[in-house]
Copies of this chain bind each other. A is one copy, B any other.
Amino acid sequence: MDLLASRSSRMKASEIRELLKLLDQPDIISFAGGIPDPSLFPSAAITEAYASVLAGAEAGAALQYQVSEGYLPLRRWLVGLMGKLGVACDEGNILITSGSQQGLDYLGKLFLSPGDTALVTWPTYLGALQAFNAYEPRYDRLTPDGGNMTPAAYRAGAAANGGRPKFAYLVPDFANPTGETLNRKQREAVLDLAGELDIAVIEDAAYRALRYDGEAVPPILALDCARSGGIDKARTIYCGSFSKILSPGMRVGWICAPRAVIEKLVLMKQASDLHSPSINQMVMHRAAENVFEGQVEKLIGAYGARRDALLGALEAHMPDGVTWSRPEGGMFVWVTLPEGTDATELLARSVKEARVAFVPGNAFYADGTGRNTLRLSFTLADHRAVSEGIPRLAALLK
């Protein structure tokens, strides 16, 4: 999730409060939220699944404590999903988490001691920075599109801060916030670097199923399994989520990883909240079995059209000097303004004068740079929002 409030940690609290007040007003057109369109939730299937779980033989178990690993039939269903993605595994490689956000928190807790180094892209998912920040890391810059520093340089930078590089975190498909996707060569390069540094790779796959065109690239975990000889020898930890496909409010995600990692995470899960809600895991299992594929198709149709409309409006209205990403999937378009333009200042003007909201990009940079960038989400952007909002935003930039 990334509502405006959580995205803008580097804005002053008073500014945020002021802007949030404005967002409540019905005439504001918002591209700020990073949330799915609730009108597309498979509500009927989920309603039916709650009713049938609570009417069936497992009703008692649905309301009772559950093992920390998670509901076994759901883990088995996920083994099948991961298999289709090229990751041969079994239920011992799967932990159910309360959304992939919880997976990121656990992985921060597992790997990071204060002063250790986490490699992340500039920019990266702000929720990951928030999860890792609790464990007080230093960040260094990962550039999967080429030009990574040498392993020795990464190590030296980490040592100068009193720690070691511990993992590389990235969103390889339709990244939040940029919408960009790594090709196979870039994924292999991340694995090469991680191998040389002997560190883990955290693959945040929250948007993976939402591909609107182009060809799917194998998950980093699948490439890792192929080169290392199987999941239990891999260094990649895959964080998946049902939030973008079925429902974020049920908070069901998963981690797929080597068994030795899962065993440690299960103990962490037990100590931190015992287990994710039993009933939601059972319902998600039924809903996934019944509607996952159809739901993916439906979202590809709806969100793909919204992406096209947004890209078309940017093309038609944005002045020279403004550039943007052309994502093959996901939820976001990343806009780069002319050097020297401050997107936070633009937001303040935009909500007041143009009645349009977005997320300033610098919140996504571990080093606080990127002030001339902004993120637009198109999942809630209907025809009117795009056809009226983008010209109004563009006019401010002319």
Q: Which residues of A come within 8 Å of B, CB atoms?
A: 1, 3, 6, 35-36, 38-39, 41, 43, 46-47, 50-51, 54-55, 59-66, 97-99, 101-102, 105, 109, 127, 130-131, 133-134, 243, 247-251, 268, 270-280
Contact between chains at B50 and A35 (CB < 8 Å): no
Least CB distance, A128 to chain B, in whole angstroms: 10
Contact between chains at A54 and B65 (CB < 8 Å): no
Least CB distance, A206 to chain B, in whole angstroms: 12
Contact between chains at B38 and A63 (CB < 8 Å): yes
Closest residue on chain B to residue A246 by CB atoms: B63
A interface, over-half SS: helix
Contact between chains at B38 and A47 (CB < 8 Å): no
Chain B positions within 8 Å of A98 at CB level:
98, 273, 276-277
Measured in the bound complex, the distance between the Cα atoms of B77 and A255 in whole Å is: 35
Measured in the bound complex, the distance between the Cα atoms of B281 and A315 in whole Å is: 43
Measured in the bound complex, the distance between the Cα atoms of B328 and A208 in whole Å is: 54
Task: List 18 A-B residue pairs with CB atoms under 8 Å apart, sorted by A's residue number.
Answer: A35-B64, A36-B64, A38-B60, A39-B60, A41-B64, A47-B59, A50-B50, A50-B51, A51-B51, A62-B249, A99-B274, A127-B274, A131-B271, A134-B272, A249-B279, A250-B277, A251-B275, A280-B280
Measured in the bound complex, the distance between the Cα atoms of B204 and A300 in whole Å is: 47
Closest residue on chain B to residue A268 by CB atoms: B134
Least CB distance, A212 to chain B, in whole angstroms: 22
Contact between chains at A248 and B35 (CB < 8 Å): no
Chain B positions within 8 Å of A63 at CB level:
38, 41, 43, 46, 247-250
Chain B positions within 8 Å of A275 at CB level:
251
Closest residue on chain B to residue A278 by CB atoms: B249
Contact between chains at A251 and B271 (CB < 8 Å): no
Which of B38, B61, B273 makes the CB contact (< 8 A) with A105? B273
Given A43-B63, A51-B47, A54-B43, verify A251-B270 contact (CB < 8 Å): no
Measured in the bound complex, the distance between the Cα atoms of B249 and A59 in whole Å is: 11
Least CB distance, A202 to chain B, in whole angstroms: 15
Measured in the bound complex, the distance between the Cα atoms of B108 and A134 in whole Å is: 12
Which of B102, B134, B249 makes the CB contact (< 8 A) with A61? B249
Chain B positions within 8 Å of A251 at CB level:
273-277
Contact between chains at A46 and B54 (CB < 8 Å): yes
Least CB distance, A69 to chain B, in whole angstroms: 11
Contact between chains at A273 and B99 (CB < 8 Å): yes
Measured in the bound complex, the distance between the Cα atoms of B64 and A36 in whole Å is: 8
Given A249-B279, A279-B280, A280-B279, verify A272-B105 contact (CB < 8 Å): yes
Least CB distance, A281 to chain B, in whole angstroms: 9
Which of B47, B61, B66, B102 makes the CB contact (< 8 A) with A54? B47
Told that A6-B270, A47-B59 touch, could you supply 6 new A-B pairs with CB distance under 8 A? A99-B274, A130-B271, A133-B271, A249-B277, A251-B275, A273-B273
Closest residue on chain B to residue A250 by CB atoms: B277
Chain B positions within 8 Å of A271 at CB level:
101, 105, 127, 130-131, 133-134
Closest residue on chain B to residue A62 by CB atoms: B249
Least CB distance, A34 to chain B, in whole angstroms: 9
Measured in the bound complex, the distance between the Cα atoms of B1 and A127 in whole Å is: 29
Chain B positions within 8 Å of A248 at CB level:
63-65
Given A38-B60, A63-B38, A98-B98, verify A250-B272 contact (CB < 8 Å): no
